[in-house]
């Protein structure tokens, strides 16, 4: 008997089930459970299930003290993707533009270095990390805190589809399980468990991302935190992690170094005079167009032209009217 | 005894000929108005009776029937007072009936016999001219307006003056004098762009919007001068050419919005309905349809402050005029088309709490609340904004700058660009085409977004008096595309 019955029982009772429950109710359920029919209905919906006892079940996940009984999968990526070396990028849902740009950059650069990017499909940092990985043509895994057939949040249904094109959407919950607040910390243990390293981009105090970091530490994985402004509530969690000894992340190369991956050095792009001047101003301080006009002495039209050129090569990004340099300097 | 006068009823912006027939019979003295007259028109009885008495004329002691023909056309408003009074006077032979031929009349009577101006005189005058009538009797305030239609107005202050004219005892001043007498030279005060300090980005976008007639969306935290900037757009738009000015005047006249003494609207109108406005007040409507704010902004600017606060159906209703430049209102009695070729300028905050984009404040909106705020604007509507500018809060030192350029100087450049736009269409250089293709690949930019960027790039090139659309023009245009977080890639 595979672990599928555990997942089905958990869905039936709305509980979190890791080990075989010792109760009559479960025994009764097991006797009435038709595994073949359940598997057929999964296959009909393009879903897969791998149990804890199967060979394809990721070894990294087994190291957790309460590994999920099995994982439901959907998407075009191979199941082996779960065993590939991967990095989790997690953070606040209501993030700042700085946070979302860092998440996107990390997603892009780590994916193009060949790592699988894992996150939770949530709004904010999670979504940006997935998008960054997809932008680089890399593979990414989204771990859900609800039934595998649900897209949560609904706004990210399209993103889930794109993740599934080449990657995987994963959940320990059978189809039909509703998202509930207590399921997300459980989801976070899978994110931390699958990844060789976890990066926390922005987190408030007592945030779910810190729970992910705790799980990663517990499993003996590397935890990185992106330093933020000490005055911002959005950085309180990450800065606290740093104080407790997390590795500060200053560029994607920090992660690659710890994982022992050589990063092919890329020569910094060379810009014409105006864009170079604008980029120079932006590396000192993020600014709006008007601020740049004052700092560079160029007119509004010339600054806009330079910014568009910089944006096209991914050197700057705009959010809410403020432009900032995207690449870490130095 | 029977007498007739001619007047006009408004259907939308068109004037339909209405014959006012007055018949006096022997019998119990009475006064009846027939011919589908509305309440205001029925009340003409009392005004006409008092007006005639005040003009020291005689109210015929007869059974008086006034018919407004054609009887199936609904007549509304108080403009029928003067023609009814004249018909009654002609029927009782107090003015010679034959003197009324070749004349149309429109105007409301006061109880003391004075004439009050009414809306839609320009449309009435045009209707009279097309019907081959040569003169229009109207209130003195409306004389200049009627003269715009190319008809000879007979502006009168009092019913007694009209009677004196028809008896041949008084002549109206020649029409040239009328037009000159109206102080058309003094334009209404439009706020000047020189009042705006800093804000180079938004000023540039405003200039581009004026030069290319693009719709403009200003986004940013409260207090960054979005509204102040938008209100200065009419000042940098070129003055309306005569035929367009006449179109605008016709609409404003029907709505009764013409300022006294300044009949011709030559400055592009600026309409700023509040966000509590109903759908009908924005696109027009009513049982007998009247022009809404969108039509009043024809050839000018429709300014929607706090765009996301407008009811969604009001915004969606604007999509038809944005596409076709006209609003058609269908009623049981027929379909009425109001022109509405306006330039849309909107402002919005970046989030419901307003702190987003402000470096000094931290936004407290939840992700869901933010998403629902931005969902209020449909993609279809956002797609209509060629220029989207996010205005961050200026830092204190940016406000210390010298006063900005004056509106006149900007308007000169805008007029030049519009003039050049009428010439040979500009071509894009090969390098510019390559840049545009690269942008579509690299940035979240849809095919529609690409077309918007191309349009704006052309305007930038026209403003720069360039021979072709170059890479720098396309690059600048790219920076005005709507950001992904507002929903349209």
B302: CATH: 3.40.50.300
The answer to whether domain A79-258 and domain A273-325 are alike in fold is: no
Beta-bridge partners for B347 = B218
Nearest chain A residue to B354, by CA:
A320
> Does residue B230 sit in the same domain as residue B344?
yes
Which pLDDT belongs to residue B414? Answer: 94
Q: What is the domain-level CATH number for residue B82?
A: 3.30.230.10
Pick among A157, A300, A318 to test the B interface (most B CBs inside 10 A): A300
Q: Which residues contact B127 (CB under 8 A, 6 or more apart)?
A: B8, B14, B15, B16, B17, B104
CB contact (8 A) between residue A293 and residue B200: yes
Cα–Cα distance, B101 to A185 (Å, whole number): 90
Q: What is the predicted pLDDT for the residue at B396?
A: 67
Residues of A in contact with B368 (CB under 8 A): 153
Counting as low any pLDDT under 70, the low residues of chain B are 175-188, 359, 395-401, 483-489
A288 and B201 within 8 Å at the Cβ level: the answer is yes
Q: Looking at beta carbons, which residues of chain A come within 8 Å of B357?
A: 320-322
What's the DSSP call for residue A287?
B
CA distance to partner chain A, nearest, from residue B362 (Å) = 8
pLDDT at site B171: 87
Which residue in chain A has the smallest CA separation from B360?
Answer: A232
Contact B392 A311 (CB under 8 A): no
B227 and B373: one domain? yes
Are B472 and A305 a contacting pair at CB < 8 A? yes
| Closest of A175, A56, A61, A194 to residue A120, by C-alpha | A194
Residue B132 Cα to chain centre, angstroms: 28
Instruction: Show the domain range for B370.
Output: 193-395
Q: pLDDT tens per residue, chain A (330 residues)?
A: 578 999 999 888 888 888 888 889 999 999 999 989 999 999 999 999 999 999 899 999 988 889 999 999 999 889 999 999 999 999 999 888 889 889 999 999 899 889 999 999 998 999 999 999 998 889 999 999 999 998 888 889 999 999 999 999 999 999 989 999 999 999 999 999 999 999 999 999 989 999 999 999 999 999 999 999 899 889 999 999 999 999 999 989 899 999 888 766 666 778 889 999 999 999 888 888 888 888 898 888 889 889 988 888 878 888 778 888 887 654
Distance CA B151, CA B133 (A): 8
Q: Are A119 and A111 in contact (CB under 8 A)?
A: no
Under an 8 A CB cutoff, do B367 and A93 touch?
A: yes
- Among A155, A290, A318, the residue with its CB nearest the CB of B483 is A318
What are the chain B neighbours of A312 within 8 Å (beta carbons)?
435, 438-439, 442-443, 478
Write down the pTM of the prediction.
Answer: 0.78
What does the pLDDT read at residue B487?
42
Query: pLDDT at position B375, please?
Result: 78
Q: Which of residues 112-141 of A touch B (CB under 8 A)?
A: 123-124
A232 has a chain B CB within 8 A of its CB: yes
**Both B385 and B481 in a single domain?**
no
Which residues have a Cβ under 8 Å from the Cβ of B39 and sit 6 or more positions away? Answer: none
pLDDT computed for residue B77 by the predictor? 85
A295 shares contact with chain B (CB less than 8 Å): no
Interface test with B, best of A136, A208, A298, A308 (most B CBs within 10 A): A308
Cβ-based contacts of A309 with chain B (< 8 Å): 475
Q: What pLDDT, on the 0 to 100 scale, is given for residue A316?
A: 87
Size of interface A-B (CB pairs under 8 A): 96
Last residue of a domain, one of B116, B147, B181: B181
DSSP for A248-259, please give it. Answer: E-SSHHHHHHHT
* Contact between chains at B392 and A94 (C-beta distance less than 8 A): no
Contact A290 B366 (CB under 8 A): no
Q: Per-residue pLDDT tens for B157-210?
A: 999 999 999 999 988 877 665 554 444 455 667 889 888 888 888 999 999 999
Q: What is the pLDDT of residue B156?
A: 93
String of b and e for B245-281 (b: at least 16 CB within 10 Å)?
bbbbbbbbbbbeebeeebbbbbbbbbbbbeeebebeb
What is the chain A residue with the closest CA to B199? Answer: A290
Domain A79-258 sits in CATH at: 3.40.50.450
CA distance to partner chain A, nearest, from residue B320 (Å): 28
User: Contact A294/B398, CB-based, under 8 Å?
Assistant: yes
Q: Contact at 8 Å (CB) between A91 and A211?
A: no
Q: Are B16 and B56 in contact (CB under 8 A)?
A: no
In a domain, B38, yes or no: yes
Indicate yes or no: CB of B398 within 8 angstroms of CB of A290: yes
Fold of A273-325: Arc Repressor Mutant, subunit A (1.10.10)
Can you give the residue ranges of every domain in chain A? 79-258, 273-325
Q: How many domains does chain B have?
A: 3
Strands of the sheet containing B270-271, edge to edge, are: B270-271, B301-304, B343-348, B216-219, B387-390
Q: Which of A300, A319, A322 sits opposite B204 (nearest CB)?
A: A300
Residue B174: Cβ within 10 Å count: 9
Kindly state whether residues B173 and B247 are assigned to the same domain: no
Is position B186 within any domain? no
What angle do the packed helices A300-312 and A289-296 form, to 10 degrees? Answer: 110
Q: Is residue B321 one of the residues assigned to a domain?
A: yes
Please answer yes or no on whether B367 and A124 come within 8 Å at the CB atom. yes
Residues B337 and B435 in one domain: no
Task: Decide which of B375, B395, B415 is a domain's last residue.
Answer: B395
pLDDT the model gives residue B179: 54
Same-domain check for residues B201 and B140: no
The nearest alpha carbon in chain A to B478 belongs to A308
Contact between chains at A311 and B478 (C-beta distance less than 8 A): yes
């Amino acid at each position: 008997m595979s672990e599928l019955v555990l997942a089905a029982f958990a869905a039936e009772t709305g509980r979190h089930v890791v080990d075989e429950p010792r109760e009559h109710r479960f025994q009764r359920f097991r006797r009435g459970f038709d595994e073949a029919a359940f598997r057929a209905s999964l296959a009909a919906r393009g879903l897969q299930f791998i149990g804890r006892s199967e060979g394809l079940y990721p070894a990294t996940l087994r190291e957790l003290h309460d590994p999920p009984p099995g994982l439901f999968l959907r998407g075009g990526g191979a199941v082996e993707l779960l065993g590939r070396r991967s990095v989790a990028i997690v953070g606040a849902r209501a993030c700042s533009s700085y946070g979302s740009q860092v998440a996107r950059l990390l997603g892009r650069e780590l994916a193009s270095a060949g790592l699988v990017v894992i996150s939770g499909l949530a709004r904010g940092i999670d979504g940006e990390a997935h998008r960054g990985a997809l932008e680089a043509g890399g593979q990414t895994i989204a771990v859900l805190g609800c039934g595998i057939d649900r897209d949560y949040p609904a706004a990210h249904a399209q993103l889930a589809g794109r993740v599934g094109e080449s990657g995987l959407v994963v959940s320990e919950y059978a189809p039909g399980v509703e998202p509930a607040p207590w399921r997300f910390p459980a989801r976070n243990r899978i994110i931390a468990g699958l990844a060789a390293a976890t990066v926390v981009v922005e987190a408030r105090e007592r945030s779910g991302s810190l729970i992910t970091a705790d799980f990663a530490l517990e499993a003996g994985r590397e935890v990185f935190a992106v330093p933020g402004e000490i005055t911002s509530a959005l950085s309180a969690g990450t800065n606290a992690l740093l104080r407790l000894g997390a590795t500060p992340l200053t560029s994607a190369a920090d992660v690659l170094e710890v994982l022992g991956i050589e990063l092919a050095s890329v020569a910094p792009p060379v810009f014409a005079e105006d864009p170079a001047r604008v980029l120079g101003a932006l590396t000192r301080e993020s600014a709006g167009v008007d601020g740049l006009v004052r700092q560079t002495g160029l007119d509004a039209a010339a600054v806009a032209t330079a910014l568009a050129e910089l944006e096209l090569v991914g050197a700057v990004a705009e959010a809410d009217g403020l432009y900032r340099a995207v690449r870490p300097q130095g | 005894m029977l007498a007739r006068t001619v007047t006009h009823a408004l259907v939308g912006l068109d004037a339909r000929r209405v014959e006012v027939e007055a018949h006096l019979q022997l019998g119990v003295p009475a006064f009846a108005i027939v011919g589908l007259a509305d309440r205001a028109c029925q009340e003409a009885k009392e005004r006409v009776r008092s007006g005639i008495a005040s003009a020291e004329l005689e109210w015929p002691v007869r059974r008086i029937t006034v018919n407004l023909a054609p009887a199936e056309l609904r007549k509304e408003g108080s403009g029928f007072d003067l023609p009814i009074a004249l018909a009654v006077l002609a029927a009782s032979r107090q003015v010679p009936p034959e003197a009324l031929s070749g004349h149309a009349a429109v105007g409301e009577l006061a109880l003391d016999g004075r004439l009050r101006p009414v809306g839609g005189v320009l449309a009435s005058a045009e209707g009279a001219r097309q019907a081959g009538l040569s003169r229009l009797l109207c209130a003195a305030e409306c004389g200049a307006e009627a003269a715009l239609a190319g008809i000879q107005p007979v502006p009168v202050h009092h019913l007694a003056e009209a009677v004196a004219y028809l008896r041949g005892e008084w002549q109206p001043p020649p029409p040239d004098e009328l037009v000159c007498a109206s102080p058309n030279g003094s334009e209404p005060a439009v706020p000047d762009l020189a009042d705006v300090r800093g804000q180079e980005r938004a000023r540039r976008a405003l200039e581009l919007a004026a030069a290319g007639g693009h719709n403009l969306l200003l986004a940013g935290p409260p207090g960054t001068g979005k509204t102040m900037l938008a209100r200065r757009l009419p000042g940098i738009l070129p003055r309306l050419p005569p035929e367009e000015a006449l179109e605008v005047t016709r609409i404003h006249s029907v709505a009764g919005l013409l300022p006294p003494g300044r009949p011709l609207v030559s400055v592009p109108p600026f309409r700023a309905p509040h966000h509590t406005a109903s759908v009908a007040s924005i696109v027009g409507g009513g049982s007998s349809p009247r022009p809404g704010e969108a039509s009043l902004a024809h050839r000018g600017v429709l300014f929607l402050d706090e765009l996301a606060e407008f009811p969604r159906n009001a915004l969606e209703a604007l999509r038809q005029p944005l596409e076709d430049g006209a609003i058609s209102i269908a009623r049981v009695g027929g379909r009425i088309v109001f022109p509405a070729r306006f330039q849309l300028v909107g402002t919005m905050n970046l989030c419901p709490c307003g702190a987003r984009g402000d470096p000094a404040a931290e936004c407290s909106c939840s992700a869901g609340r933010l998403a629902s705020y931005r969902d209020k604007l449909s993609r279809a509507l956002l797609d209509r904004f060629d220029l989207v500018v996010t205005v961050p809060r200026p830092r204190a030192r940016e406000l210390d700058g010298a006063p900005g350029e004056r509106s006149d100087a900007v308007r000169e450049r805008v007029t030049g660009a519009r003039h050049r736009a009428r010439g040979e269409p500009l071509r894009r250089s090969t390098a510019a085409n390559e840049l545009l293709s690269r942008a579509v690949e690299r940035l979240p930019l849809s095919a529609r977004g690409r077309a918007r960027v191309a349009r704006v790039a052309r305007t930038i090139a026209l403003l720069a008096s360039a021979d072709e659309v170059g890479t720098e023009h396309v690059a600048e245009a790219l920076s005005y595309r709507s950001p992904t977080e507002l929903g349209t890639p």
